[in-house]
Amino acid sequence: MSDQFQPQTALVLFSGGQDSTTCLAWALTRFARVETLGFDYGQRHAIELACRDRLLDGVAALRADWAQKLGDNHTLAIPTLSEISETALTRDVAIEMGADGLPNTFVPGRNLVFLTFAAALAYRRGIADIVGGMCETDYSGYPDCRDESLRALREALTLGMARPFELHTPLMWLSKAATWQLAHDLGGSGLVDLIREHSHTCYLGERGARHDWGFGCGECPACSLRAKGWREHVAGK
């Protein structure tokens, strides 16, 4: 698959979670240079952003060629998102499912905003390839994670910025178990251990309890998906 890409620079949406860390490794095996981007939107799990530096250091320590390829690590603040959201990601309320079948952690259109800012930054950096961990297999039903939404957005960004962007979503059709396996294929047990130890997925921003799949509350939808995927991965499913 790698030979369909030119050895150029990619911008990876890098939140410090399991999925985006796997995407970072994916990009490092396919591009000559990789820059990273995280968003600070006032989420109460700002701990995820703090995980980013440890993960970047860890990824660089895994392989010398990865260390050479890693470029600038950007952070963009989008405080407006927390003004719009009434969800558990940004306010001190419990996570629950809404009548529409979506958890109240859903920030409408969040990934569309992220990718549009990412494309604007990529434009300035002369980058055409953007990589994100969006997935519609084991996901919480966010419509802006769907492949159809992202294909439409890619078209809009390409037209609206007159720049032929590619949006790479290597996890789109993978289960969480397959995402753990992909991390192993890309970076061996060293990468898997790094993700378990330092990536952050929990909606509640908890680091306290250490499970075999990593840190987190173990109860929220994000922890549940991550734990289920880990069990299936270990079982070889």
Asked if residue 103 binds Zn ion (CB under 5 A), the reply is no
The reply on whether position 89 binds Zn ion by CB under 5 A is no
Minimal distance, residue 72 CB to Zn ion, in Å: 30
40 vs 206 by CB, closer to Zn ion = 206
For residue 183 the two structure tokens come to 């991390």
Name the one range near Zn ion by CB under 5 A: 91-99, 105-113, 159-167, 208-216.
Answer: 208-216
Is 70 in contact with 61 (CB distance < 8 Å)?
no
Rg (CA), the chain: 17
Would you say 154 or 226 has its CB closer to Zn ion?
226
User: Does 37 help bind Zn ion (rule: CB under 5 A)?
Assistant: no
Piece of the chain touching Zn ion by CB under 5 A; list 14-22, 148-156, 220-228, 229-237: 220-228
In the complex with Zn ion, the residue whose CB is nearer, 27 or 202, is 202
Beta-carbon contacts of residue 74 (< 8 Å; ≥ 6 apart)? 35, 36, 37, 38, 121
Size of residue set near Zn ion by CB under 5 A: 6
Report residue 165 as tokens: 């962007």
Contact 27, 7 (CB under 8 A): no
Measure the CA–CA gap between 6 and 23, rounded to whole angstroms.
17
Q: Is 202 in the site for Zn ion (CB under 5 A)?
A: yes
Decide if residue 216 touches Zn ion (CB under 5 A): yes
> In this structure, how many other beta carbons lie within 10 angstroms of the beta carbon of residue 188?
12
Contact flag: residue 225 with Zn ion (CB under 5 A): no
CA distance 153 to 149: 6
List residues near Zn ion by CB under 5 A.
Answer: 202, 204, 216-217, 220, 223
